[in-house]
A and B are shown apart, each in its own frame.
Chain A
Amino acid sequence: MKGLISVGPLRILEKSSRRGLGPGNLGALIARAGVGKSACLIHFALDKIFRQERLVHVSLKEHPEKVTSYYDVIYHDLIKALNIKDDSEYRTLIDKNRMILAYLNHSFDLRRLQANLKNLTEQLQFRPDALIVDGLDFEEAERELFEGLKTIAQESSLEIWLSALSHRHITETNERGIPHPCNKLDDLLSIILQLKPETSGLFLSLLKDHDGLGNPDISVKLDPNTFLALD
């Protein structure tokens, strides 16, 4: 699906120094509650899937059925935006390349994730290229967890995207200007994006770009309903 990047929020990564996150790296998408972190990450996921890469969507709050219905809605909007008539090929790609792992009621830990990824590889021959981890509580999680995720990313040569919940009342940033809740973890995160509703629209901006700081002025305006790029 060549046109996906041109219409999706991924356009921001085209503006990053390495044109993407890359294997072995962690990336985070910061936004306040209800702004659209999950939707944006699903756009990232669909991009991977349509590039014939294998993706594991890890949901820490929602049941798989709900995650699937999120995908369905976003996929439908995408197909419509790209004016695709016969989408059977894309549907097959989703069936083939996506796996949803949910960890409900605080069931998530690294050991379990590693065991599950091992099962996927050994039992299903499903070796993921990317992981989306949605719903991880950055405030509660210990630094070791992020270090562990980084190790998994490096050892398995996959990229991991995380959603990070920010709060209006917590305005602290670190010396490099990285806001809460990624301010103490930015050494582990290769790319940090921020999704922010402004009066003029919803903007996705690049706060950290691998070894350097991102240019917050580089942003993509998104449709607040479909999260497709507007400009």
Chain B
Amino acid sequence: MDINRLRNIGISAHIDSGKTTLTERILYYTKRIFAIHEVKGKDGVGATMDSMELEKERGITIASAATYCEWEGHRINIIDTPGHVDFTIEVERALRVMDGAILILCSVGGVQSQSITVDRQMNRYDVPRIAFINKCDRSGANPYKVVDQLRLKLNHNAILMQIPIGLESGFSGVVDLVSMKALYFEGKNGEVVREEEIPAKIIEEAGVKREELLDAVSMFSDDLMEAVFEESVTEDLIYEAVRKGTISRQLTPVFVGSAYKNIGIQAVLDGANRYLPSPGQVENVALDLDDNEREISLSTDSKAPVVALAFKLEVTPYGQLTYLRIYQGAIKKGHDLIITRTGKKIKVGRLVRMHADLMEDLSSAQAGDIVALFGVECRSGDTFTDGDLNYSMSSMFVPEPVISLAVTPEDNKSQHNMSKALNRFTREDPTFRSFVDQESGETIISGMGELHLEVYVERMKREFGAEVLTGMPQVAYREAITRQTLFDYTHKKQTGGAGQYGRVAGFMEASDEGNYEFINQVKGGAIPTEYLPAVNKGFQSCLKKGPTFGFPVLGMKITVNDGKSHSVDSSEMAFTKAAIGAFKQVYKKAKPVLLEPIMKLSVDGPSEFQGNVMGSINQRRGTIISSAEDGAFTAIEAEVPLAEMFGYATTLRSLTQGKAEFAMEFSRYTKVPESLSEALKGNKKKESKGEKKK
């Protein structure tokens, strides 16, 4: 396969803009499938790319399914990516390995917040793109407005390659501004493209838009500029100039159509072939681990040593399926590969090319290609080489999880299945984490949003037979003292048997650093040196569970400056007990307060929702630090107690029509307001009474 005729493209946009519908048409026209099934279709089959049962049911794409097709002598590898905010890691992964992308926009909704998020992600990976304004058949469709938004909101040098013939219910075809022909899509599924003269009523408009196109793209080609002056413009000159502009990310060619109505899809495929880069035209770098992580430019030479990146793992009933992008060299069946991270050697057993959940066996694959390996144990993001090089591809951007949930298996069988499921999910998806909370003993799962976690809980049930109950996770409260307090305690038990005697005196105070500190200021051997570690141990043992609220105690400084021992009855145990006694004696006098984790919260969303978002943060005891407007988008930074943030994803979604997204990370611990502190204290008492009764 000529690498110049290979395209690796992602299809990205916000939810419900028609990504899966478009992909379904592409597969149909390229003869990879022989029937079109709709997302949420009446036939109950679901779209081809939504291979997971759950995806078909919900009509959203969850896992990005890779597939390929051939169009006009080009092989196009497509990764269909989810549009929902909760699944952005899938988008990130797709963009990481893609050389170009089709950005889909809704001709009614225009550039929405998720389009902006996706666009930012594309910028991060320098992905050239073409845009497709979909749903031109819908009521309220206005592709011209969307082009303006592309320019204003996303700073794209967007230029229409086509104009629509009619709009809304009258949308019937497109005018190609390069060939200056009208295109109509006929046949049962729009597979027959009929070329006609441009209808008289829009010929003038077409002329104006072509002038705009030539003005914009001639900036990228002197030959085209000259041809414009000499009125000798050819189609090839335009294609070449648009291609240059697109690959350099200075131009975004825009196509229009309706995937659902089968209008304009073939032109988008032509656009992908013509304007998006081949793997050879994209610079990819790896880090040379033997040379202080120096960046090395990779070549698409198939004879060069192999460098490949595992960008997605999927667990199938037959073992792990590893999606791989080959950046350099060639991978052959039966050859050995080394995983850079572990140095582990693996043999290439089954090498396949994926078509949604179907696969095609291959004997070899070349640089630039996207394939999958069967039965290889590795992690997402691992680099593979043939052992000649010690290279690692730069790591993918992995956002931190923002929400956690406690999961409890319903029975022993579910317990076993749940651990199997969690083990698999955490390897498949770096944004999904699981751990056992040492304090509550609960299994906590964390991820990018409630839907994200909800999907995994569903998958646990469906794929692994693990029935689990979900609950609210325990917020990690802490307590700390606020006042310096003196202690003087004698532990004495000298009534029969071996006696116990130990006296400790000193003071406790809050430590500036927030850590536990133990200061020995004992003079004259009042406490023999060998017993001081026991005193320290006694105090430390009290910190695990504060006497007032029952949470771990943070930031305490203990200074011991006096004491007394007995030549026979003193022991390590006696001094440990003396320290515990001293702690309990004065802890409450030291005015303990309850602390709660405060999260730094960022909410990004369209500016029109600024007030709603601010209100929602305020209601959650949050403090807004700043609000930054950029174009039509506002980013709000705030600090909010974690305890108030559960369910926020849902609240935010409903407040902002799903157009805003948020991220949060731990900032610090601060004092819980008095009223809440009392309520928590009450709850804690009830809990401990309940435990005692049990």
Contact = CB atoms under 8 A, between A and B. Distances in A.
Interface stretch (A2-10, A62-70, A132-140): A62-70
Q: How large is the interface on A (under 10, 10 to 19, 20 to 34, 35 or more residues)?
A: 20 to 34
A112 interface: yes
Contacts of B618: 123-125
A104 B626 contact: no
Nearest to A98: B625
A115 B628 CA distance: 13
B637 A64 contact: yes
Contact of B630 (A95, A107, A122): A107
B497 interface: no
Contact of B626 (A67, A112, A123, A124): A67
A95 B623 contact: yes
Interface residues of B, number: 17
Nearest to B632: A107
Nearest to B608: A115
B626 A102 contact: yes
Interface in A90-131: 95-96, 99-105, 107-108, 112, 115-116, 118-120, 122-126
Interface stretch (B166-174, B186-194, B205-213, B609-617): B609-617
B614 A119 contact: yes
Contacts of B628: 63-64, 101-104
Interface in B605-656: 607, 610-612, 614-615, 618, 623-631, 637
A116 B634 CA distance: 11
B607 A112 contact: yes
Given A115-B610, A120-B614, A122-B611, A68 B629 contact: no
> Looking at A96, A102, A112, which has the most chain B CB atoms within 10 Å of its CB?
A102
A101 B630 contact: no
Contacts of A116: 610, 627, 629
> Looking at B610, B614, B627, which has the most chain A CB atoms within 10 Å of its CB?
B627
B625 A112 contact: no
Interface string A152-180: 00000000000000000000000000000
A209 B278 CA distance: 66
A144 to B, nearest CB: 20
A213 B607 CA distance: 42
Interface string A71-101: 0000000000000000000000001100111
A64 B635 CA distance: 10
Given A64-B637, A107-B631, A101 B614 contact: no
Contact of A104 (B623, B625, B629): B629
Nearest to A67: B626
B626 A64 contact: yes
Interface of A: 63-64, 67-68, 95-96, 99-105, 107-108, 112, 115-116, 118-120, 122-126
12 contacts: A64-B625, A95-B623, A99-B626, A100-B625, A100-B626, A101-B627, A101-B628, A101-B629, A102-B627, A119-B611, A119-B614, A123-B615
Interface of B: 607, 610-612, 614-615, 618, 623-631, 637
